[in-house]
Amino acid sequence: MKEMVTDIKKNEKKLVSEYKELLRISYQNLSDEDKKDIRLAFDTAVNAHKDQYRKTGEPYVFHPISVAKIVASEIGLDAASISAALLHDVIEDTKFSEKHIENIFGKTITKIVVGLTKISNLKKDVNISFQAENFRKMLLTLNDDIRVILIKIADRLHNMQTMEAMPTHKQIKISSETLYIYAPLAHRMGLYNIKNELENLSLKYIDNESYNFISKKIKEESDVQDSYIKEFSDLVANKLEKEDLNCVIHGRNKSIYSIYKKMNIKKISYEEIYDKFAIRIIYKSTLADERIKAWQIFSVLTKEFTHNPTRLRDWISTSKSTGYEALHLTVLGPKNKWIEVQIRSERMHEIAEKGYAAHYKYKQNEKIDKIDEWLNYIKDTLQNNNDNALDFVENFKLSLYIDEIFIFTPKGDVKSLPKGSSVLDFAYSIHSQVGNKTEGAKLNGALVPLSTKLKSGDVVEIISSESIKPMPDWLNYVITSKARQSIKLYLNKDKERIEAYGKELFRRKLKYIKINTNKRVINQALHYFSVNDESELYDRVAKKKIDNKAIRSFVNYYNRNFLNIFQRNSYAKSNKPKLNLRNANNEILFGTKKQNLIYSLASCCNPILGDAIFGFHSFNNGGLEVHKNSCKNAIELQSNFAYRMVTASWTDSESKEFIASLNIVGIDTVGTLHQITKLISSDMNINIRNINFNSEDGIFTGKMQMGVKNQIVLNQLMLNIKKIKSINKVVKV
């Protein structure tokens, strides 16, 4: 009893401290009225959650308080958002209703809380098969109030920070969802610090071994790195001071996840990554002088150091669509090390740190309209979308997380598009009606096909014609969500009109020869004309691919065979090739009960003994597919099809061989191939299955397949091959 009283007093003391800190760390200037609203929301949340506890044993109310602190400080939202964050679980989990909240707090805060409640309830709908459908519905809250999504990002961040008590399969599922949609959303809202933390925490649970390895390496290098950053910063600060430029300089590490991604994409080791940190120069300036001072700093740096012109990124002249502005360059610093330098004004830095909130703080600057443009575009996309959920989320993600190019109209207006966009994407970015009527385009003054890919700086003039309409093959020319959606919308409307005409035409022609259209007749027509569905049948009738003669022929067939109609009611179906499934032989055990099930090793990642793995129910192939946790498809599978996932682990069987492939690059010297094969076959007693080497201009590239017992053996083999003097790179395929 005494311990319980002590805990209550400790929690009460902590609550008082948390409330004071919440007000202290707020990015916005809070009025007395704002503080009253926040205090009322704080007290309501404490009262509503008083008997609830998290799995860690902590009183539940500390979760909404933590979310509110992220909203107040890291995202920098207003008092209404802080209040809504404190109340975000109240309607869902307590006795308080929507009406209660509206009576106490009014319509604005209630609307945000209700939007957050809608998102929370999505995961409880057992009829929703795919997580993608949940994401689509969540994104629809953008139409209610953008603050709903921002608070949800804060909620997800705190959940990721406090996931230790959850079972492993839930940690992986939540982390996959986070990488799949929440981190890209945070990136698109300009919340780069939150995006980095979400990615790092996700990696911690999805691939803990890689996370710990990179984290340990960063710590080992921290002293040397800090010393180098100080040496470079002191040198630069001295030069800038002489030019009377008031700046603050500091270094920052690249995130663990960004290093992990680079290692995997480029197939290189940690030691081969040279840009593990960057230098930021943040300068004081008036709005009018910002651009001049940025280029002054650039001039000082390039006078002192050699710079790489191919790595220059000018996001001051034209900001990113997230609102991000900065000048990035890469220079050769002391000891011949390449360093990325980011040049930002204090205003630019604030927008880079706070994203949406700082964007509106500086709204009087008319050129900062990129976030508004994007929000309007997304709202339009959400309201007019007919894609299935998975296609929708994939297309939506494209607008979140991709490199940008900047394209000019003949009048000098600039449009931001994803890298890889075509002239047809550009036409649709102007307006859907412009896209629909595009007959051709001039790229830098020359006529080009609609499929032509664009690059930054191109000038595009769209040529329109009222006689033009979108064609199905246009979908092969575009990558942007807006263009794909506009084309599909037009084609679907056109298709519906054609099909309606074809259906009526088919009905009239049959009626003329005394046959009424019913389900049985339609089924026979599908079979007779070898079409997959009614839509295709009516489309072919409307386009006269099925003409009067063909219809009369069908009627004769139908009349002749009517009595046997039920014997011919099947249609051709494509037979998908089966995977080579086999019994596990105790190699892999599945689920919490460690079951021995039929499985196949996924060809996309080819897991071998020792790899961290999971099972995926493949309904088409009648068994489980085993993927590595680091598989390129893992995030999408775990995020969209979590209900088909099962935990998996290797047994200690040493009798089984796994096929592993290595790509090897090196200098073509006499005896190199012999050294490699001797090392593999004689020294390590590994069976070589296939070998293919090519040489050009003194450099050889080779691919080898061999049977190995497990990942440990393979890692040792790769290390041993790298020790051969003429070998430059060894990469597992």
Q: Considering only CA atoms, which of 404, 406, 312, 325 is closest in space to residue 369?
A: 325
Identify the domain boundary among 437, 457, 488: 488
The two three-digit tokens of residue 456, written as one number: 């930054």
Only one residue has tokens 């406090």, namely: 162
**Could you report the per-residue pLDDT of 253-287, keeping only the tens digit for each?**
889 999 998 888 877 888 888 778 889 999 999 98
- Per-residue pLDDT at 372: 63
Across 446-460, 509-523, 537-551, the highest mean pLDDT is recorded for 446-460
Only one residue has tokens 């011919």, namely: 568
Mean pLDDT over 118-140 rounds to: 55
Across 240-249, 507-516, 623-632, the highest mean pLDDT is recorded for 240-249
Only one residue has tokens 């090793």, namely: 601
Helix or strand run (H / E) with residue 251: strand 247-253
Q: Is the residue at 261 inside a domain?
A: yes
Domain that holds residue 115: 2-206
Provide the percentage of residues in the chain whose pLDDT is more than 90. 19
The 3-class SS string of 398-435 reads HCCCCCEEEEECCCCCEEEEECCCEHHHHHHHHCHHHH
Measured distance CA(416)–CA(399) in Å, rounded? 11
**Is residue 474 located within the same domain as residue 351?**
no
**Is residue 190 located within the same domain as residue 321?**
no
Number of H helices, E strands in the chain: 28, 20
The two three-digit tokens of residue 327, written as one number: 């000048």
Are 344 and 352 a contacting pair, CB within 8 Å? yes
> Within 10 A of 577 (CB to CB), how many other CB atoms are there?
7
Helix or strand run (H / E) with residue 448: strand 446-448
Identify the domain boundary among 625, 650, 675: 650
For residue 574, what is the DSSP state? P
Longest Cα–Cα distance of the chain, Å, equals 100
Q: Is the residue at 577 inside a domain?
A: no
Query: Does the pLDDT at position 5 exceed 50?
Result: no
Measured distance CA(565)–CA(526) in Å, rounded? 13
Strands 438-443 and 460-464: antiparallel
How confident is residue 507, by pLDDT bands cut at 50, 70 and 90? confident
The 3-class SS string of 576-602 reads CCCCCCECCCCCEEECCCCECCCEEEC
Q: Considering only CA atoms, which of 36, 95, 38 is closest in space to residue 68?
A: 38
**Is residue 162 located within the same domain as residue 264?**
no
The whole-chain average pLDDT of the chain stands at: 80
Provide the percentage of residues in the chain whose pLDDT is more than 70. 83
- Per-residue pLDDT at 298: 94
How confident is residue 3, by pLDDT bands cut at 50, 70 and 90? very low
Q: What are phi and psi of 277, to 5 degrees?
A: -145, 165
Mean pLDDT over 123-142 rounds to: 53
Is 302 in a helix, a strand, or coil? helix
> Within 10 A of 706 (CB to CB), how many other CB atoms are there?
22
Across 288-292, 529-533, 573-577, 696-700, the highest mean pLDDT is recorded for 288-292
Q: Is the residue at 534 inside a domain?
A: yes
**Is residue 563 located within the same domain as residue 688?**
no
Q: Is the residue at 572 inside a domain?
A: no
Q: Is the residue at 579 inside a domain?
A: no
Measured distance CA(719)–CA(705) in Å, rounded? 16
Higher pLDDT, 44 or 524: 44
> Long-range contact list for 494-502, CB < 8 A, 24+ apart?
494/469, 495/535, 495/539, 498/538, 498/539, 498/542, 498/543, 499/535, 499/538, 499/539, 499/542, 500/538, 501/538, 501/542, 502/537, 502/538, 502/539, 502/540, 502/541, 502/542, 502/543
For residue 307, the cross-strand partners are 331
Higher pLDDT, 22 or 630: 22
What does the DSSP assignment read for 207-221?
-HHHHHHHHHHHHHH
Contacts of 428 (CB under 8 A, 6+ apart): 434, 435, 478, 480, 482, 483, 486, 487
- Per-residue pLDDT at 2: 40
Q: Is the residue at 213 inside a domain?
A: no
**Is residue 498 located within the same domain as residue 542?**
yes
Strands 277-283 and 338-345: parallel
**Could you report the per-residue pLDDT of 325-344, keeping only the tens digit for each?**
899 999 998 888 889 999 99
Q: Is the residue at 341 inside a domain?
A: yes
**Is residue 403 located within the same domain as residue 424?**
yes
**Is residue 53 located within the same domain as residue 173?**
yes
**Is residue 484 located within the same domain as residue 497?**
no
Residue 141, domain CATH:
1.10.3210.10
User: pTM of the entire structure?
Assistant: 0.66
**Is residue 194 located within the same domain as residue 243?**
no
Mean pLDDT over 475-493 rounds to: 84
How confident is residue 398, by pLDDT bands cut at 50, 70 and 90? low
Identify the domain boundary among 456, 488, 520: 488
**Could you report the per-residue pLDDT of 558-580, keeping only the tens digit for each?**
777 653 443 344 333 333 333 44
Residue 283, domain CATH:
3.30.460.10
- Per-residue pLDDT at 157: 95
- Per-residue pLDDT at 126: 36
How confident is residue 653, by pLDDT bands cut at 50, 70 and 90? low
Are 454 and 422 a contacting pair, CB within 8 Å? yes
**Could you report the per-residue pLDDT of 363-387, keeping only the tens digit for each?**
654 444 556 666 666 666 555 555 5
**Is residue 117 located within the same domain as residue 155?**
yes
**Could you report the per-residue pLDDT of 599-617, keeping only the tens digit for each?**
888 888 888 877 888 888 7
For residue 690, the cross-strand partners are 705
**Number of independent structural domains in the chain:** 6
Query: Does the pLDDT at position 222 exceed 90?
Result: no
**Is residue 521 located within the same domain as residue 620?**
no
**Is residue 36 located within the same domain as residue 66?**
yes
How confident is residue 654, by pLDDT bands cut at 50, 70 and 90? low
**Could you report the per-residue pLDDT of 73-103, keeping only the tens digit for each?**
998 888 999 999 999 888 877 788 888 888 8
Q: Is the residue at 631 inside a domain?
A: yes
